[in-house]
Amino acid sequence: MSSQLQGKLQDILQASIQSHEFDKAEQAVMYMKQLAEIEAFVTGDSIQTSVNKVSAAVQENRDIAVQEGFSSFRQAASEPAVLANQRKQDTLMLYYMADEKVLKFKKTPQTYAVSLDFFREFLRYLELWKGKEPFSSKTYYETFAGELKPFTTYQSSTLRQFITLLFRYCYKLNVLEKPTPPQRSRYYVNSELEAEEVIKYIAEQKILQL
């Protein structure tokens, strides 16, 4: 019975992505994880093992070309990062709408949508910080906001908030890393970062839950 439900949820997930019904897609992922946890309880398997199965099911029809140069990024994004007891508002959702070439970033209650060109420029400016000292989203905004504004209609205050959120996404994806010892709100750029590799990965995945 659980395999039938997982199959139906997988169908709903794929259909929701194609029709851009992202709230419904998010619900499907959540229910798939909950069903996996119930199955783990009944069978005595570990919750992590069952969640891994869900992650594999979500990506079943995706052709991911794994390349050596950015393996740490791919591994971090592929592994399920949401624990069973994590609150929904802490979950970061990322959707790629291929027809419009738009990326949608959702962290309840905030939702932002930007063009693929905006995100490409954002990553390219991050690449300029490779090998430099840790920096904050505030420093990034003050340095590059002028270059990014032509790619979005967001006003300055909204763009500032969005870039702060983007830093959280990039940390979850291993695009950004925290220094040791940690410095408050400061990050350094993964030395393996390649902007086009990140974009290619997101385009292949279409939906990521971080």
Tens of pLDDT, residues 21-75: 767 777 777 777 777 778 777 777 665 555 555 555 555 444 333 333 344 555 5
Contact (Cβ atoms closer than 8 angstroms) between residue 10 and residue 25: no
In the structure, what pLDDT confidence band is assigned to residue 89 with cuts at 50, 70 and 90?
Answer: low
| Distance, CA of 133 to CA of 130 (rounded, Å) | 9
- Range picked from 6-15, 22-31, 201-210 for highest mean pLDDT: 201-210
* Overall average pLDDT of the 7-27 stretch: 71
Contact (Cβ atoms closer than 8 angstroms) between residue 39 and residue 50: yes
The model's pTM = 0.65
Full DSSP string of the chain: -HHHHHHHHHHHHHHHHHTT-HHHHHHHHHHHHHHHHHHHHHHT--HHHHHHHHHHHHTTT------GGGHHHHHHHHS----TT--GGG--EEEEETTTTEEEEEETTEEEEEEHHHHHHHHHHHHTTTTSPPB-HHHHHHHHHHHHGGG----HHHHHHHHHHHHHHHHHTTSEE--SS--TT-BEE-TT--HHHHHHHHHHHSEEE-
pLDDT digits (tens, 9 = 90+) for 123-169: 999 999 999 999 999 999 999 999 999 999 999 999 999 999 999 99
Contact (Cβ atoms closer than 8 angstroms) between residue 210 and residue 86: no
- Judge whether residue 207 has pLDDT over 60: yes
